[in-house]
Amino acid sequence: MSVRIRMKKLGRKHRPFYRVCAIDIRAPRDGRILEELGTYDPMVPETDARAILKADRIRHWLSVGAQPSDKVRVLIKKYGPEGTHLEQQRLALARLAQGRRRPVPQPASPPAEAAAEAPSPAESTPPAQEA
């Protein structure tokens, strides 16, 4: 059985998403896979964060004779085990993670120091006189 490393298309209309898979060469594009080796999301704004690959599994499949498709060959060259863009990918993923974090909301009430300086309402009223 000959194996090819290629992409399996998922997602919906106008929103593609791909899984990089090891597939029998005779299987259809979206057919049964042998193993999932990573993902490729062309809709991610950071170019270097689009492909996430499992380097050890790709190394294994290439060592046993699997042939990558043309597009997957480019992805492996850039983001694979000895990729040329691994540092750029790490930085791009960090930028995306930073963008997803929400800022800490500020409290609506005044800070505790301002409340301590102002006299409380009980202290400002004179004591009631007894009759």
- Per-residue pLDDT in tens (0 to 9) along the chain, 131 residues: 699 999 999 999 999 999 999 999 998 888 899 999 999 999 998 899 999 999 999 999 999 999 999 999 999 999 998 889 999 999 999 998 888 776 655 556 555 555 556 565 555 566 666 65
pLDDT at position 107 is 58
Cβ-based burial of 55 (10 A; exposed 0-12, middle 13-18, buried ≥19):
middle
Structure tokens at 107: 């409290």
Q: Domain 3-100 belongs to what topology?
A: S16 Ribosomal Protein; Chain: A; (3.30.1320)
Q: Domain segments of the chain: what residues?
A: 3-100
Total H helices, total E strands in the chain: 5, 5
Spell out the alpha helix ranges (H) of the chain: 55-63, 70-79, 86-100, 112-117, 121-124
pLDDT at position 39 is 95
pLDDT at position 31 is 85
pLDDT at position 73 is 95
CB distance 21 to 7 below 8 Å:
yes
pLDDT at position 62 is 94
